[in-house]
Chains A and B, each alone.
Chain A
Amino acid sequence: MTTMAAATAGGRTARPRPATMAQALGRALRDSMAEDPTVHVLGEDVGTLGGVFRVTDGLAKEFGDDRCTDTPLAEAGILGAAVGMAMYGLRPVVEMQFDAFAYPAFEQLASHVAKMRNRTGGAMPLPITVRVPYGGGIGGVEHHSDSSEAYYMATPGLHVVTPATVEDAYGLLRASIASDDPVVFLEPKRLYWSKSDWSPEEPAPVEPIGRAAVRRPGRSATLITYGPSLPVCLEAAEAATAEGWDLEVVDLRSLVPFDDETVTASVRRTGRAVVVHESSGFGGPGGEIAARVTERCFHHLEAPVLRVAGFDIPYPPPMQEKHHLPGVDRVLDAVARLQWEAGS
């Protein structure tokens, strides 16, 4: 493994070392700030503390309080101020501490951030990145585990991006900050400590927003997923080989824009699809994705497009969340149901 190689080579810094997703995100912020003096980070606890997940660690020290600012505790105020900063030519990156804490800022997001380019006829785009740690699986108490992506997806004018790998965390956050459109950047918090061999000197490439990635090629069915559910799907795909299933796993990486091309091509190849995500199924992202797939692939489908989602309940207490979150078995059960026969 590269990790071992780096260690035995005497720890030369250029060699890839294990880095966490949180570190890669921090590095993306740092590199963006170093390259572009208009990039400003603001939020509650992002300065001295370095963020509750330490993503912004060291930024205030390196760039000063004016570039990495601890704000009053007020999400609408943080995002509203970011709108004004962007109007004056800055490129604010806002941190919402937890998914459910972002709701007070929703009016700013829906009424202003998402609409400013449109309502000014293109005269005033807002290059704002809103970082939202989201999803469950870390034992967080109430209001610390919401999967809020459907709200953002349903708001025209926002890009909604969610990385599932350390490399994507870096590359997609760089791309989001560089984008002249507002981006809601959803960080799967249970993957913050996931690791990959990663060299800060040769960071992952910055890829355009809006392209899905085939994480595992396969022939018998497609698992369509993103963010925190990607590792679940990859594990399910490995387990399914015992049953003779060769599953393809597509990581969407971006919910808006949606990569119809990659998804459609995959499902047309495999003829079967399951959408997997943590957020509630009813009115959730899976319904939209299943509908799009059905509209484009109907004659290629051997079975209905299935959804494996969180239950339609408010996020449960941490000691119960294991029942709510889709796990490998639930994905495999859905895959088994893909052996569907007309009339059955």
Chain B
Amino acid sequence: MTVQELPGAPAHRPTPPPAWKPLTDPAPLLPDPEPYRVLGTDAAADADPELLLRLYAELVRGRRYNAQATALTKQGRLAVYPSSTGQEACEVAAALVLEERDWLFPSYRDTLAAVARGLDPVEALTLLRGDRHTGYDPREHRIAPLCTPLATQLPHAVGLAHAARLKGDDVVALAMVGDGGTSEGDFHEALNFAAVWRAPVVFLVQNNGFAISVPLAKQTAAPSLAHKAVGYGMPGRLVDGNDAAAVHEVLAEAVARARRGEGPTLVEAVTYRMDAHTNADDATRYRGDAEVEVWREHDPILLLERELTGRGLLDEEAVGTVREAAERMAAGLRDQMNADPVLDPMDLFSHVFEEQTGQLREQAAMLRDELEAGQEPHGGGAEDAR
């Protein structure tokens, strides 16, 4: 029975509310069903040879870097290393796509992106070696500190890009996160803020298949991680994360779009973590060799090498030159990491606040007295563990 049918009710009908209309047409925001590819397709003919060669050199150097850093964990020179072997195309493209004035917001696995952007390899490793949390000045390199909590650096990228735009600077921020990180609340809040503010940000999700041991199917029920973009009102792009030319192209488009003031883009790069989560993880507990082998055939270096060789842009000699340069980098890194860092315990109190509080001055005095008395530290820790 409706109100009108009630006996004695007035024959009054309120003005109906306006028909609901979506704020944005979702269709242009939707990602393509298949990851975008360049290498081995017709699109490769349009790719800039110089860029491809540069990407190749960085991929090889990056692979060597990952191998060297992993070796350093076995020698006790690095506390831990989350390798990006297999994901180098994402790391390198993210670094190369940015202008000098732009900002990179890496996660803990993205050391390589920071190095490819020009950061000194040792400075990039201090967090993982355990001597300093951040071994470089973020403002000097426009690289935020490597972020260990998941997705919490994404809102920073949004805020920084927003601030730059308010100041009239055409700066873009590129923020990197893994597939697991997309489940975090900060991922949601960052994307929502970025879209509402039309902030010049590019979000790069490296979907490497696993969050430590949890596979993507247990992480999300979305058609793809790129689809999440639609709900925020920004374009989602799906790209083959092992195809360095494709990742670079998609990111370059997203960066250009952000710089034009058209707002953020969410890019999902589908890739695979060839090594375990870190050297401390046992990947055989959650995945089989056969699965890893499939991805070995789709190796980012192999894909690019095949393309370059096929087009006559790379010969054995050129490959040799690139590999030698990578070896030199690795040898330099090894030598530098073999030297013990010089640490001043009093630094513990130097950068808590601009001025030490009375409480910190007292504690600093206590430590100084201990040091002057020649007392051996007995708190346990990395030094003892070695």
Interface positions of A (Cβ within 8 A of B): 40, 66, 71-72, 74, 76-77, 79-90, 92, 104, 107-108, 111-112, 115-125, 156-157, 159, 179-181, 210, 256-261
B353 an interface residue at 8 Å Cβ cutoff? yes
CB distance from A254 to the nearest CB of B (A): 10
Count how many chain B residues have C-beta atoms less than 8 Å from C-beta atoms of the other chain. Answer: 42
| A122 B133 Cβ-Cβ under 8 A | no
| B155 A84 Cβ-Cβ under 8 A | yes
Other A-B contacts than A118-B352, A120-B137, 5 sampled, CB-CB below 8 A, are: A77-B192, A87-B144, A104-B185, A124-B139, A258-B357
- Alpha-carbon separation in the docked complex, A257 to B360 (Å): 9
| B133 A118 Cβ-Cβ under 8 A | yes
Given contacts A121-B132, A125-B354, A157-B353, contact A84 B161 (CB under 8 A): yes
Chain A residues lying within 8 Å of B386, measured Cβ to Cβ, are none
| B162 A119 Cβ-Cβ under 8 A | no
Q: Looking at chain B's contact residues, is the secondary structure mostly helix, strand, loop, or mixed?
A: helix
- Alpha-carbon separation in the docked complex, A264 to B163 (Å): 44
CB distance from A206 to the nearest CB of B (A): 16
- Alpha-carbon separation in the docked complex, A232 to B159 (Å): 41
Chain A residues lying within 8 Å of B134, measured Cβ to Cβ, are 119-121, 123
Point out which of B189, B350, B354 has the most chain A C-beta atoms below 10 A from its C-beta: B189
B145 an interface residue at 8 Å Cβ cutoff? yes
Partner of A76, one of B162, B166, B189, B352: B189
| B352 A123 Cβ-Cβ under 8 A | no
Chain B residues lying within 8 Å of A72, measured Cβ to Cβ, are 189, 192-193, 196
- Alpha-carbon separation in the docked complex, A108 to B359 (Å): 25
| B351 A122 Cβ-Cβ under 8 A | yes
- Alpha-carbon separation in the docked complex, A77 to B152 (Å): 9
Given contacts A76-B186, A84-B156, A84-B160, contact A180 B354 (CB under 8 A): yes
| A121 B357 Cβ-Cβ under 8 A | no
Given contacts A82-B159, A88-B167, contact A74 B351 (CB under 8 A): no
Given contacts A80-B190, A81-B159, contact A120 B152 (CB under 8 A): no
Tell me the B132-173 residues at the A interface (CB within 8 Å): 132-134, 136-140, 144-145, 149, 152, 154-164, 166-167, 173
- Alpha-carbon separation in the docked complex, A40 to B144 (Å): 21
B358 an interface residue at 8 Å Cβ cutoff? yes
Chain A residues lying within 8 Å of B357, measured Cβ to Cβ, are 210, 256-258
- Alpha-carbon separation in the docked complex, A256 to B359 (Å): 9
Q: Could you list 5 A-B pairs, sorted by A, with CB under 8 Å?
A: A79-B155, A107-B149, A118-B352, A119-B145, A257-B357
Residue of B nearest to A114 (CB): B352
| A260 B162 Cβ-Cβ under 8 A | no
Chain B residues lying within 8 Å of A86, measured Cβ to Cβ, are 159
